[in-house]
């Protein structure tokens, strides 16, 4: 039975050897990102995310990674993100939030630090923030209606929103030149403060998600509606930035 690591660092050496054996000289770097790099890895729950950077020739032969992925998936290692240096630098304007989040929290496991000189274009970041906030707002409204006011469904929706909005809030804080906290809960409350939103509503959403408070179905309906309204305000703010 595959042994799931208690921390990502436990598998760095073995995973690196396996990737080197597969790609040899075409391997440029292996980088840990995601919850493992943010010190939020949870044993047996979190995936371990690796960015594997290959040469332009190496990435043409991804079928070589089949056995590698087959071996490591049972140990909670997600399918690695295979990229090239050229793709990274040519895509910063297309995926600014994704690369910003990766650059903010990563560990070089092997090879070159390909993220060290990454610079996220400010206007590209703002445009993606606007698109993401407005898109997530539509989904939040739709999902709110789909709960039909049921208590468990509302609790699940508010819990899910922590993950859904964290990366967007992260990017918006960067746009305001605010130091981004590592903790998801703190990111939410900081965003409320910085953008003059109702921090009390965000704090209640956090407490519901962490099961620190219990609310009736009617209370959750009111809270979710208030939360949707605050996200709507945020959409207007980012549109005007």
Q: What is the model's pLDDT at position 106?
A: 96
Task: Tell me whether residue 232 is exposed, middle or buried, using C-beta atoms within 10 angstroms of its C-beta: 0 to 12, 13 to 18, 19 or more.
Answer: middle
Q: What is the model's pLDDT at position 95?
A: 95
pTM score of the predicted model: 0.81
Rounded distance between C-alpha atoms, residue 143 and residue 121, angstroms: 32
What are the residues whose beta carbons fall under 8 Å from the beta carbon of 87, sequence distance 6 or more?
none
What are the residues whose beta carbons fall under 8 Å from the beta carbon of 68, sequence distance 6 or more?
18, 19, 22
Task: Tell me whether residue 134 is exposed, middle or buried, using C-beta atoms within 10 angstroms of its C-beta: 0 to 12, 13 to 18, 19 or more.
Answer: middle
For 137-160, what is each residue's pLDDT tens digit? 999 999 999 999 999 999 999 999
Q: What is the model's pLDDT at position 183?
A: 79
For 60-95, what is each residue's pLDDT tens digit? 999 999 999 999 999 999 999 999 999 999 999 999
The 10 Å Cβ neighbour count of residue 80 is 21
- What is the residue-wise DSSP string for 166-213? HHHHHHHHHHTTPPPPSSHHHHHHHHHHHTT--HHHHHHHHHHHTT-S
Determine phi and psi for 2, rounding to 5 degrees.
-65, 135
Average pLDDT, the chain: 94
User: Is pLDDT at 1 greater than 70 in this prediction?
Assistant: no
């Amino acid at each position: 039975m595959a042994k799931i690591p208690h921390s990502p660092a436990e598998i760095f050496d073995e995973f690196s050897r396996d990737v080197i054996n597969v790609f040899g000289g075409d391997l440029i770097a292996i980088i840990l990102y995601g919850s493992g790099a943010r010190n939020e890895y949870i044993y047996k729950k979190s995936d371990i995310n690796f960015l594997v950077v290959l040469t332009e020739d190496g990435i043409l032969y991804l079928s070589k990674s089949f056995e590698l992925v087959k071996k490591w998936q049972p140990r909670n290692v997600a399918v690695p993100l295979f990229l090239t240096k050229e793709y990274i630098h040519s895509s910063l304007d297309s995926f600014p939030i994704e690369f910003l989040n990766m650059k903010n929290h990563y560990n070089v496991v092997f090879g070159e630090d390909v993220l060290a000189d990454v610079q996220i274009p400010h206007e590209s970041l703002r445009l993606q923030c606007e698109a993401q906030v407005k898109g997530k707002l539509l989904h939040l409204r739709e999902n709110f209606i789909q709960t039909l006011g049921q208590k468990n469904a509302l609790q699940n929706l508010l819990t899910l929103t922590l993950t859904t909005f964290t990366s967007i809030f992260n990017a918006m804080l960067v746009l305001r030149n605010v130091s981004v906290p590592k903790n998801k809960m703190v990111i939410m409350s900081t965003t409320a403060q910085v953008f003059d939103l109702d921090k009390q509503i965000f704090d209640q959403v956090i407490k519901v998600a962490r099961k620190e408070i219990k609310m009736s179905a009617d209370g959750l309906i009111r809270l979710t509606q208030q939360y949707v309204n605050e996200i709507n305000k945020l959409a207007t703010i980012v549109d005007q930035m």
